Amino acid sequence: MIDGDEDDDGDHLTDAQEFKLKLNPKDDDSDNDGIKDYMEDEDHNGIHNQDDGQYEEESED
């Protein structure tokens, strides 16, 4: 049973949020793309936004 307040993988998303998003609450990078789950939900609203987690390197012009 998932405890909604627990964060078993330490990724700053609760297990309940991860369960709702179909993420693995025991893995801080559920899709193994090198971006932690909480970074992919950049606005931390519990909803994986399409643009959340996109990383663009800043140029040094």
Query: Residue 48 has what pLDDT?
Result: 61
List pLDDT tens digits, range 2-58: 567 899 998 888 999 888 888 899 999 988 888 888 777 666 666 666 554 444 445
Q: Is the pTM value of this prediction over 0.85?
A: no
Closest CA to 28 of 6, 50, 20, 18: 18
Q: How far is the C-alpha of 47 from the C-alpha of 50, rounded, in Å?
A: 9
Query: Residue 9 has what pLDDT?
Result: 92
